[in-house]
Structure 1
Amino acid sequence: MSRAERETQILEVAERVFADDGYQATSMDDIASQVGLSKPMLYEYFGSKEGLLLACLQRSKAELLEATSRAAAEATSPEQKLNDCQLAFFRFSDDHAQAWALLRNEFSIPSASVNTELEAIRVQQRYFTADLLRSVCEDLDHEQAEAYAEAIIGASERLALWRDHHPEVTAEKATEHMIALFAPGLGF
């Protein structure tokens, strides 16, 4: 197995273990045994348990941006762009439930670098969403676009948390709720 393939394998296992057991309760021994590597090899790859968690978060950050960017690129109208990007977020939270569990349990990780990386995911999506809003609503100024983007991101995260308790609410239905909430203010 190549180094890149091994890193992917380690990140997938670590994401699952962190989400299932919590960051504090997880040991590098737990992850090493499930991956089939020695603990020193995990340290060789990621330096520390925190380094491994940061790598998991960075991978999720890149995958989320890729999913929402792809949705925006494939849309053929402003309305579809808003809808499809929102849907991409909810599908990401469904398809990457383990990564999403890490994001929603951030309060349990007492690490400035981890919390900085979690906030970097939100900032990345704020810039993406603000640019998206300006592309579909040309009369929005920079401040409005960023303020609306923050509101959309916050509401999306809360709705995704709510869906944990309402598994019958599909990604499509959650998207309908978000669009119904924000579309009128955007002139749709």
Structure 2
Amino acid sequence: MSAATPRRRRMSRAERERQMLDVAEQVFGERGYRATSMDEIAERCGVSKPMLYEYFGSKDGLLLACVARSQAELHEVTQKAVAGATDPRDVLWRGMVAYFSFIDSHSRSFAMLVSEPVAGPPETAQAIEDIRRQQSTLIAGVLATFAAGVPADVLEAHTEIIIGASERLSLWRTRRPGVTVEDAARYMTDFCWSGLSPYLTHTPAPDPGPGDGEGRPAPG
């Protein structure tokens, strides 16, 4: 008598939703928003297309759900990273490493969203801007804790520079696979530090060397 075939465990709603978002993000990144079909996403998930619509309502809704999840995850990883910072330069370094590491794990979908924000539903551009505002608020708040002497407009300007430059550097890295997360974080930290350091006192000087051997800049 042959052994009975084990019954596959039924996914919970949360697990199924996570699977759908994982697959959708991958397909959006591979094909772009316009060329992505709900049929392909459903097939890759092993579900019916009506079930996909039941969860997200439309392709627009599915893309926006992907963006919303990325926003929450990025906030969580960067918040945790900067929580252990000991000085303003450390804030920049930790935040940049967390950001570029996150982008690496979502590189195709990130490039698609930043390069083609108008290809998706009208709410996409606003959702991406919300992510930028989220990150700038986080960075500015933590920097202000360690650098109370920096004028508010200077701090705000530098957080805007950080957000914009980080996006461009991330896109540039998609064409430069040899540039590591640590390389990108060091470029951003050094660049921003040169602008902030005149407003700070009793802080380490920028690192002139390649690093401390562990991927982060050596203390000045």
Same fold (TM over 0.5): yes
* Cα shift at 1:136: 2.5
State the one-letter code of the partner of 2:181: A
Q: Does 1:158 align with 2:168?
A: yes
* Cα shift at 1:96: 2.0
* Cα shift at 1:110: 4.6
CA 1:142–1:117: 2 relative to 1, 3 Å:
same
* Cα shift at 1:108: 4.8
The answer to which structure, 1 or 2, has the higher relative contact order (CA under 8 A, 6+ apart) is 1
Could you tell me which residue of structure 2 aligns to residue 115 of structure 1?
125
Q: Distance in 2 between matches of 1:181 and 1:152?
A: 9
Percent of residue pairs bearing the same amino acid type: 49
Rg larger in 1 or in 2?
Answer: 2
The answer to whether the 8 A contact 1:11-1:55 is kept is yes
The alignment's TM-score, normalised by the length of structure 2, stands at 0.81
Could you tell me which residue of structure 1 aligns to residue 193 of structure 2?
183
Could you tell me which residue of structure 2 aligns to residue 2 of structure 1?
12
Gaps of 5+ in 1: none
CA 1:57–1:70: 2 relative to 1, 3 Å:
same
Could you tell me which residue of structure 2 aligns to residue 82 of structure 1?
92
Give the number of the structure whose residues are more often helix, by fraction. 1
Q: Does 1:104 align with 2:99?
A: no
Could you tell me which residue of structure 1 aligns to residue 69 of structure 2?
59
The answer to whether the 8 A contact 1:86-1:175 is kept is yes
Q: Distance in 2 between matches of 1:74 and 1:98?
A: 30
Could you tell me which residue of structure 1 aligns to residue 135 of structure 2?
125
Gaps of 5+ in 2: 1-10, 198-204, 206-220
Q: Distance in 2 between matches of 1:152 and 1:135?
A: 17
* Cα shift at 1:33: 0.6
* Cα shift at 1:82: 1.6
* Cα shift at 1:123: 1.1
